[in-house]
Amino acid sequence: MKIVLNTEYASQNGKNEIHLGELVPCFENHTRIDKIIETLQQNDWSHLEKPNDFGLAPILEIHESSYVNFLKTIWQEWLAEGNTNDILPYIWPIPGLKRNIAHNNLNAKIGSFAFSNGTPIMAGTWLSAYTGAQSALTAMSQVIAGEKSAFSLSRPPGHHAHAGFYGGYCFLNNIAIAAQFALKNGANKVAILDIDYHHGNGTQDIFYQRKDVLTLSLHGDPSTNFPYFTGKIDEIGEHDGEGYNKNYPLPDGTDFHLWHNTLEQACGEITNFGADYLLIALGVDTFEGDPISNFKLTTDDYLQVSKTINAIGLPTVFILEGGYSVGPIGKNVFNVLSEFMV
Ligand code: OKP
Ligand code: ZN
């Protein structure tokens, strides 16, 4: 397998988010990747590829240009108004307030491109997110070129990002960008399997009306978990995409037995679909010690996850999403990749 490192992974360096009514240090921080690199090195895996630059075009295949422009310019606009702290949205044009979307005011503009508040923007955000998308594209291109598997080792994550707005620590939907790139480069169908603890709302929405991308997500039941408003079982896709989105919400406290049975169901769907490539949104926030989630998977359980995904037998690209228990994150990720690390 090839492992591509987002060389700008530390440039996104937000200070705080609100957690249970309190300002706390961001859970999604660079120590996550530091730890994964350290574990890879300890296991004699020190060769990390650098991302190639595919430019903006593959990003604009997925994201609206007004949104990309916002991400590129908002920090300079914020500085120009004399601000120095991270940008955090605090007002949103939800139905009823939508009458006047005052794009000339920065707070109004920021809220109109965001859906949640825990996702700070600072000087390095665009470079970090852009290079992360390039890492995903590089991993995808390696697999298109014949590698059996590749891993994009990157933060910030991507699966919550929609075509036109950010949130849930995500700015660019890396896995959607990679999937679309595969379809533009010869694939007829691709499958996306999201095993992060949280529903991949951005990925679902981006491909909701399409039948060339099967989107599947196993996650904490949205009736009690972020992102709350999406991820239910009755969200099955629409128009051409009807039947090509499947959600597997699981109750709080889910253990490996239930989680793995559900994974096997999802794998069956992928096999029936007949994809050319499989893309995995790899979050290890399903781990029992995760500080913001509550499934019960153990470090050893991830070895079996690797076997089950490998048994599908498709060329596979892994894209890192969440996982906030930093101590064990390296081993947890390493174990998911273990069957592919040849
Ligand atoms: C991103 B990914 C803590 C509440 C949770 C957002 C969670 C985003 C998870 N303030 N906030 O899917 O791992
Ligand atoms: Zn997550």
pLDDT tens track for 71-81? 999 999 999 99
Q: For residues 75-111, b (16+ Cβ closer than 10 Å) or e, as one string? A: beebeeeeeeebbbbeebeeeeeeeeeeeeebebbbb
Whether the Cβ atoms of residue 154 and residue 130 lie closer than 8 Å to each other: no
What's the confidence (pLDDT) of residue 266? 99
CA of 194 from ligand 2 middle (Å) equals: 10
**Could you tell me which of 61, 57, 14, 10 has the C-alpha nearest to residue 32?**
10
Confirm or reject: Cβ of 157 under 6 Å from ligand 1.
Answer: yes
Pocket-testing residue among 160, 199, 329, ligand 1, by greatest number of atoms within 8 A of Cβ: 160
Interval 79-92: pLDDT, tens:
999 999 999 999 99
Of 159, 160, 198, 219, the catalytic one is: 160
What's the confidence (pLDDT) of residue 102? 66
Interval 13-69: pLDDT, tens:
999 999 999 999 999 999 999 999 999 999 999 899 999 999 999 999 999 999 999
What percent of the chain lies above the pLDDT cut of 70?
99
What's the confidence (pLDDT) of residue 342? 84
Confirm or reject: Cβ of 226 under 6 Å from ligand 1.
Answer: yes
CA of 43 from ligand 1 middle (Å) equals: 29
Q: Whose CA is nearest to atom 8 of ligand 1?
A: 168
DSSP for 149-195 reads EEEEE-SS--TT--SS-BBTTBSS-HHHHHHHHHHHTT-S-EEEEE-
pLDDT, mean of residues 323-330 = 98
What's the confidence (pLDDT) of residue 97? 85
Q: Whose CA is nearest to atom 3 of ligand 1?
A: 19
**Identity of the residue numbered 165:** F
What's the confidence (pLDDT) of residue 103? 73
- How far is residue 117 from each of residues 26, 80, 111, 114, 132, measured CA to CA in Å? 12, 22, 9, 8, 21
Query: For 50, which DSSP code?
Result: P
Whether the Cβ atoms of residue 273 and residue 218 lie closer than 8 Å to each other: no
- Catalytic residue list contains 30: no
Whether the Cβ atoms of residue 119 and residue 170 lie closer than 8 Å to each other: yes
Q: Whose CA is nearest to atom 9 of ligand 1?
A: 168
Query: For 4, which DSSP code?
Result: E
pLDDT, mean of residues 116-124 = 97
pTM: 0.98
Interval 238-287: pLDDT, tens:
999 999 999 999 999 999 999 999 999 999 999 999 999 999 999 999 99
Q: Whose CA is nearest to atom 1 of ligand 1?
A: 168
pLDDT, mean of residues 161-190 = 98
CA of 185 from ligand 2 middle (Å) equals: 29
pLDDT, mean of residues 207-232 = 98
Confirm or reject: Cβ of 168 under 6 Å from ligand 1.
Answer: yes
- Average predicted confidence (pLDDT) for the chain: 97
Whether the Cβ atoms of residue 31 and residue 326 lie closer than 8 Å to each other: yes
Whether the Cβ atoms of residue 177 and residue 59 lie closer than 8 Å to each other: yes
What's the confidence (pLDDT) of residue 104? 84
pLDDT of 202 above 80: yes
Interval 139-151: pLDDT, tens:
999 999 999 999 9
pLDDT, mean of residues 315-337 = 98
